[in-house]
A and B are shown apart, each in its own frame.
Chain A
Amino acid sequence: MALLALASCSSPPGTWGWYVIDPSTKGGWNNIKFLLSGFSATIMLSVLAAVLSIIIGLIVALPGMSQNRLIRLPSRIYIEFIRAVPLLPMLFWVFYGLPVILRSLGLNIPIDPFWGAAITLAISDSAFTAEIYRAGIQSIEKGQTEAARTVGLNYLQTMRYVILPQALRRILPPLANQFIYIVKMSAFASVIGMQELTRRANEVVVSEYRPLEIYSLLILEYLVLVLIISSGVRWLERKMGADQRL
């Protein structure tokens, strides 16, 4: 008996079932196509969330650096609060809770899984983005702001033409880090039924009952995605570094 069990362990066909994702078989090929089709949703979700996060983060960060305490306060509260809420509970709150609030306000705005996940990821990430902006902007010498003022620029013009272009170059690496973080966290969208990479993998696992093989492929999918982003960011950094002689 014991020998038999050992034999079955050491024989690959008993434990591995790569056939579920074998492109040479019709079933395997269909599974692969189904799994890969989650890419577009994951990418769209991540890009939208990242763009929103970059915008919200800046809007939060700028008043956070005001000399005036009262202007600074809402920004600090937002950052501390959002940073403290875990992503999954926030996702549930936005997807299941927010529609209740909207309905009670008489607004009939449905929140579908895509927008629910995008908003949650964006808000959750914006607290971190805001802190990245703050670090970058505060690293620019005070003399730059003063010089901008003496040539007549107002606050927003100073930010747009003088401070942000310089700060952006310094904050690009941490911002890219956050983008990669968003891509990975987008997997949580699967629990509210969004058809992205992880959700698709789960569905194939349920029908094929081959978790090891399918989740291995899933991890590979994220790996490839993140590597592509990393090389894109490196290209961008080189480009900005060459353009801007600082």
Chain B
Amino acid sequence: MSDTNSAIEFKDVNKWFDDFQVLKDINLQISVGEKIVICGPSGSGKSTLVRCINSLENHEEGTITVHEKEVGRKLQNGNSSNSDVGMVFQQFNLFPHLTVKENLILGPMKARGLTRKEAEFRAMKLLERVKIPEQVNKYPNQLSGGQQQRVAIARSLCMEPKIMLFDEPTSALDPEMIAEVLDVIIDLAQEGITMVVVTHEMGFAKKAADRMIFMDEGMIVETGTPEDFFAKPKTERCKLFLEQILQH
């Protein structure tokens, strides 16, 4: 049984997309406050694993518990995702018809029942934290990619989540904008929030991760502290992968 310190737990989780098995026997326990970085080649199931945590994907076998509540497997009829779990997407997914402020206050007002004033107060605080308070009344497409992603992070934080998921948050960004987004995520990692980050930014991983997970072909191939993981990878596949992405 999971202890109370467990934030997320995967037990024998299997998932298929039609005939293709994307997740194979996933067993994983993430403690409250832990920062996890998941890496691996594309198509290895990293994103799917993360998306199972907030029920954007349903799994077929096994159990996933988030804060001691079972999720996924059509338990929630594909509805009402757990709003204690925030998510930042590769493609930002800001609401293009709403201003930055409206993007931030929509969830708190409609899902959490905050008044407009309370929500706006919270939004302004978070925009200052991600260092773009001056963009509050702009529309997403008037912002740079890095700014958009920082708004997306602020939008998630507005719901005061206990867990934050990042699905390749910097992969769609121009190189010069990656740092500003990673800085915000590192800043966030200083807090007690539980974080699961899918990324290939190994510099970030070294700085922020408590534990590394390497996935390949739907399986968790290797886990370990960043020091061990980068210095002496145990498996050949992991070594090869690290060589490829650290080459340049």
Contacts and interface: CB of A to CB of B under 8 A. Distances in A.
Interface in A95-145: 141, 143-144
A151 to B, nearest CB: 3
Interface in B43-93: 54, 56, 78-81, 83, 85-87, 89, 91, 93
A166 interface: yes
Contact of A153 (B56, B85, B86, B110): B110
A67 interface: yes
Given A147-B89, A246-B141, A153 B107 contact: yes
Contacts of A11: none
| Chain A residues touching B, range | 20 to 34
A143 B89 contact: yes
Contacts of B81: 149-150, 152
Interface in A67-86: 67
A162 interface: yes
A152 B97 CA distance: 18
B159 to A, nearest CB: 6
Given A161-B110, A246-B141, A150 B85 contact: yes
B79 A155 contact: yes
B86 A150 contact: yes
Nearest to B90: A143
B107 A151 contact: yes
Interface in B170-228: none
Contacts of A161: 95, 106, 110
Interface residues of B, number: 30
B111 interface: yes
A149 B89 contact: no
Interface string A37-80: 00000000000000000000000000000010000000000000
A148 B98 CA distance: 13
Nearest to A144: B93
B89 A166 contact: no
Contact of A152 (B91, B93, B139, B159): B159
A147 B97 contact: no
B141 A245 contact: yes
A244 B140 CA distance: 11
B93 to A, nearest CB: 4
A146 interface: yes
A148 B89 CA distance: 12
B56 A146 contact: yes
Contacts of B96: 166, 244-246
A149 B111 CA distance: 10
Contacts of A141: 91, 93
A153 B106 contact: yes
A17 to B, nearest CB: 56
Given A150-B54, A154-B80, A144 B110 contact: no
- Residue of A143, A149, A151, A155 ringed by the most chain B CB atoms within 10 A: A151
A162 B95 contact: yes
Contacts of B95: 144, 147-148, 161-162, 166
Given A67-B78, A143-B93, A154-B79, 20 more contacts: A146-B87, A146-B93, A148-B95, A149-B54, A151-B106, A151-B107, A151-B158, A152-B81, A152-B107, A152-B110, A152-B112, A152-B159, A153-B106, A153-B111, A155-B79, A157-B110, A162-B95, A166-B96, A166-B97, A245-B139
27 contacts: A141-B93, A143-B93, A146-B56, A146-B89, A146-B93, A147-B152, A149-B56, A149-B81, A150-B81, A150-B86, A150-B156, A151-B86, A151-B106, A151-B111, A151-B159, A152-B107, A152-B111, A153-B106, A153-B110, A154-B111, A161-B106, A162-B106, A166-B95, A245-B97, A245-B141, A246-B97, A246-B141
